[in-house]
Chains A and B, each alone.
Chain A
Amino acid sequence: MSQVDPQTTTESSKDPILEVENLQTVFFTDKETIRAVDGVSFDIEPGETVGIVGESGSGKSVTARSIMGLVESPGRVVGGSIRLRGDELTDNTKQEWQRIRGGQIAMVFQDPLTSLNPVYTVGNQIKESLRLHQGLRGKAATEEAINLLEAVGIPDAPRRIKEYPHQFSGGMRQRAVIAVALACDPDVLICDEPTTALDVTIQAQILELLHDLQEERDLAIMFITHDMGVIAEIADRVNVMYAGEIIESAPVDELFDNPKHPYTQGLLGSIPSRNPSGEPLATIEGEVPTPNEPATYCRFADRCPEAFDECEAVHPVAVEVSETDAEHTASCLLYPDDVSRDEAVELHRSRGAATETEVDR
């Protein structure tokens, strides 16, 4: 980093570097208003990997794009706050965003071929980032680019920086994208399904690389995936998203050992390796709904094996699953499970009323 934020030096590593609170991103179409991200809150600490899992359409990628300031019309961030080291990002100007994107928060996308420019050499693309954020040029930039490619494990880096993306294999392209993302020493790295397009042996290489880089640089990583195996591997803490909301959040071991939300239970239950061989797989009935109206009810209720009448009437908020476990929250009327059902429903109702917000065009 070229400029040193005075806050960084005094900050203890326990403070979250990125805080997302009640984030709401809405897409306004002629037909309907889609609440792609509807009241999402989470924190990321330095050196920590926070995983976000969910099926397609659950709002994972829109969450990431909101944090990067990359939501485009007809979408808009309409509420909530995103704070990077205490600085609010949602009211940033275009110039402020440009300084933060790539400089402090960097992103790795799913498909490495579309995130690299085919008409520039890989070296050029790394040097572009170095020039914009660190003012490096010429020989110094080239040397730094070679160092970065070596840091992400690309052999024969001096030759490789002169090559174009099409001359790289899939895994190497993703390494190059990571090199571009790391060029300016960001504090937060957002990985949006970075291994989904890759083969399993290459995926293992990339996960190992991210792990090493995180240790070296104390990176905070937000890792988005739909693959429960990958999340178990890389995340410290997991947020499960469903129809625009985080419906469960827990440390990774706790989530896999003790899933509380019926959706998480269903999702884990449908993984082939968690089912006995030769028997039918457990499934979740129905399809993921489109969140196109305010959540005044539980969006999972009509697929939920445990639903009861109040599920249609009360919107569940994130509560601790039990008094003893503050780290583990679920948005489900069944919890907290150490109070009676009526008390639990009442708790959700009263807390829900306090956070209700209306979305206007």
Chain B
Amino acid sequence: MSLDAPTPAGVTEADIADGEPLVEVDDLKTYYGEGGLLGGAPVKAVDGVNFDIKKGETLGLVGESGCGKSTLGRTLIGLEQATGGSVRYKGTDITQLSKTQLNEMRQDVQMVFQDPESSLNERMTVGEIIKEPLDVHDWQTPQDRRNRVRELLDTVGLQPEHYYRYPFQFSGGQKQRIGIARALALNPDFIILDEPVSALDASVQAKILNLLNDLQDEFGLTYLFIAHDLAVVEHVCDRVAVMYLGNIMELGDSQELFDDPANPYTLSLLSAIPEPDPSVRKNRITLRGTPPSPRDPPSGCPFSTRCPMKIRPEEYQDLEPAVWEAIEVFREVLRERSKVEYSPTEQVRQLLGMSDPYDDLDDILAEEFGDVDVPDKVQQHIDEAVSRIRNGDPESAREYLREEFASECEAERPELHPVGETDRVSLCHRHKSGYDEPNAFVDEDVLGE
């Protein structure tokens, strides 16, 4: 428990001016499945993030599925228990609040969910759905509540007669309007929008985005906008945080970040967006593979297993890109294989020497190194690793390759370095002096200029 008595949020006067931090997140961690006898390694959904949300702004939170953006949103509103760090809303640390205090706080902080189909109770009328938060918080008299609901229906562009209808009678866009009306019921200051438009068609999406924008102007709302659609984020957000594997990779002014991304992951992500304009020819960065499991994130930089601009050890600086990639893929294959769980019969067979999980090693080598011209200085290390695998010790082979080919990207976690004109930060070793910046590796037209 924090010492200062938390102010019931609904009562607090809005003493925070526009542009001052409304939410301060400090080294926040949310792990799942920690502890317990059979727990094993926890899933590190959010792994130490720091940022502020300023009053009146829209902060975008983007990233691929599984990067922890929804978990982060849910932790900010107290729907998930933080494992470490703090979230201060108007100065109060909400990770330390009791259930009753959290309930109070939620008058002020609301959420709009992605899927309007599953976030509205099919058995309640629209009026009841929107009225529920008012009932829960015992807001004024029942008559006032009903009037408030009618007012809200009008605010989000629905008709008063919709009060007595059921959700199934509405289209996707209208359902999302109902969800927004419910979030607005208690007059919150801060709304977390978790993928509010990704289930909607383009023309409907535009209408909801316009509505959200109008509401922000009218009620002075602060938004955290969680989305995977970068084009939408670019259009609606003032600042953007890019997440990967539970970490914030880059955070800064939306326009600047989209025009001149500094982090290798941001660069790759932006270059992957298909442009709705066939005349734009992008020289795209296509990332290899998929993000690693958050249960077992890579050591060092979270992006190091896929980064196309990874720092190489000194002696391999001028290796052919194809050779370097073959080495990376080979190491990835060995890493993946080390995590395979074999069935009990297979384990017995392996123990008895009847089956060798690496009996297809020649195929793998041919597949990865078959079409590239491997220099001797690399080949000797590959050979050494192969002989270690053949001797039944793949673990030491992986270790050997790691020592030979890994750089600081895999050894130590990078820091957030300031980049750009405004106060933007990026998590990458390449921002340190002595290295080329990540964007020195890409062509002009990587973002389709």
A residues neighboring B (CB under 8 Å): 55-56, 150, 155-159, 169-172, 199-205, 207-208, 226-233, 252-253, 256-257, 266-268, 270-275, 277, 280-284, 287-288
Shortest beta-carbon distance, B109 to chain A, in Å? 26
Contact B276 A158 (CB under 8 A): no
Give every chain A residue within 8 A of B277 (Cβ-Cβ).
232, 256, 274
Q: Check A159–B290 contact: CB distance below 8 A.
A: no
Q: Is B279 an interface residue, CB under 8 A from the partner? A: yes
Check if A273 sits within 8 Å of B276, measured CB to CB. yes
Give the Cβ gap from B359 to chain A, nearest Cβ, in Å: 9
Tell me whether B278 is interfacial, beta carbon within 8 Å.
Answer: yes
In the complex, the answer to whether B274 meets A233 with C-beta atoms within 8 Å is yes
A268→B286 CA distance, assembly (Å): 26
Known: A172-B290, A199-B65. A204 touches B284 (CB 8 A): yes
Within 8 A of A (CB), among B175-230: 201-207, 209-210, 213, 228, 230
Residues in A neighbouring B284, C-beta threshold 8 A: 204, 208
Q: Chain B residues near A201 (CB, 8 Å)? A: 64, 268-269, 272, 286-287
Which residues of B335-351 are within 8 A (CB) of A?
A: 336-337, 340
Docked Cα-Cα span, A252 to B278, in Å, equals: 7
Contacts of A270 in B (CB 8 A): 202-203, 205-206
Contacts of A266 in B (CB 8 A): 203
Cβ-defined partner of A200 (8 Å) among B202, B234, B273: B273
B364 touches A156 (CB 8 A): yes
A273 with B255: in contact, given A156-B364, A204-B284, A283-B203 (CB under 8 Å)?
Answer: no
Closest residue on chain A to residue B64 by CB atoms: A199
Distance (whole angstroms) from the CB of B106 to the closest CB of chain A? 30
Given contacts A232-B274, A272-B234, contact A156 B64 (CB under 8 A): no
Q: What are the 8 closest A-B residue pairs judged by CB atoms, nearest first?
A: A229-B274, A272-B235, A281-B206, A199-B64, A270-B206, A204-B272, A55-B201, A228-B276
Interface contact A229-B64, CB-CB below 8 Å: no
Within 8 A of A (CB), among B251-294: 255, 268-269, 271-280, 284, 286-287, 289-290
- Give Cα A340 to B1, complex, Å: 78
Cβ of A256 and Cβ of B276 under 8 Å apart? Answer: yes
CA distance A47 to B233 in the complex (A): 35
Name the distance in Å between A45's Cβ and chain B's nearest Cβ: 18
User: B319: CB under 8 A from chain A?
Assistant: no
Count of B residues near A, CB < 8 Å?
Answer: 49
Say whether B279 contacts A159, CB under 8 Å.
no
Q: B401 on the interface (CB 8 Å rule)?
A: no
Interface positions of B from 124 to 182, Cβ below 8 Å from A: 171, 173
B232 within 8 Å of A (CB atoms): yes
Instruction: State whether B235 touches A273 (Cβ < 8 A).
Output: yes
B332 interface residue per 8 A CB criterion: yes
Instruction: Decide: A159 and B337 in contact? CB cutoff 8 A.
Output: yes
Contact of A171 among B204, B275, B280, B290 (CB under 8 A): B290
Q: Which of A155, A205, A277, A288 has the most CB of B within 10 A?
A: A155
| Chain B contact residues: helix, strand, loop or mixed | helix
Which among A156, A208, A267, A275 has the highest number of chain B CB atoms within 10 Å? Answer: A156
Q: Which residues of A contact B205 (CB under 8 A)?
A: 270
Taking CB atoms, residues of chain B closer than 8 Å to A157 are 367
Is B333 in contact with chain A by the CB < 8 A criterion? yes
Known: A233-B274, A287-B173. 6 other contacts (CB 8 A): A55-B201, A159-B337, A267-B202, A273-B275, A281-B209, A282-B206
Assess whether B231 is interfacial by the CB under 8 Å rule.
yes
Q: How far in angstroms is the closest Cβ of chain B from A230? A: 5
Cross-interface CB contact of A207 among B236, B274, B289, cutoff 8 Å: B274
Q: Which residue of A lies closest to B279 (CB)?
A: A253
Can you list 16 residue pairs at the A/B interface with Cβ under 8 Å?
A: A158-B360, A200-B272, A226-B201, A227-B274, A228-B276, A232-B278, A233-B274, A233-B278, A257-B279, A268-B276, A281-B210, A283-B203, A283-B206, A283-B207, A283-B210, A287-B171
Q: How far is the CA of A55 from the CA of B200 in the complex (A)?
A: 9
In the assembly, what is the distance between CA of A57 and CA of B206, in Å? 18
Name the residue on B nearest A238 (C-beta).
Answer: B278
* Residue in chain A with minimal CB distance to B199: A56
B345 vs chain A, min Cβ distance (A): 13
Contacting pair A229 B202 (CB below 8 A): no
Question: Is the C-beta of B363 less than 8 angstroms from some C-beta in chain A?
Answer: yes
Question: With A230-B274, A233-B274, A273-B276 in contact, is A56–B333 under 8 Å at CB?
Answer: no
- For B329, the chain A residues whose CB sits under 8 A away are 155
CB distance from A146 to the nearest CB of B (A): 8
Name the residue of chain A whose CB is nearest to the CB of B289. Answer: A155
Contacts A200-B269, A207-B274; A284 near B231 (Cβ below 8 A): no
B228 near A267 with CB under 8 A, answer no
Specify which of B64, B235, B333 is in contact with A277 (CB 8 Å cutoff): B235
Nearest Cβ on chain A to B333's Cβ, whole angstroms: 5
- Cα–Cα distance between A208 and B272 once the two chains are bound (Å): 11
**Chain B: minimal CB distance from A202 (Å):** 7
Return the chain A residue nearest B329 by Cβ.
A155
Q: Which of B202, B273, B274, B333 contacts A155 (CB 8 A)?
A: B333
Identity of the chain B residue whose Cβ is nearest the Cβ of A254 in the assembled complex: B278
**Residues from 312 to 359 in B contacting A, C-beta threshold 8 Å:** 329, 332-333, 336-337, 340
Which residue on B lies nearest to A280, using beta carbons? B210
**Docked-complex contact A229 and B203, CB < 8 angstroms:** no
Residue of B nearest to A169 (CB): B290
- Tell me which residues across on chain A come within 8 A of B360, comparing CB atoms: 158-159
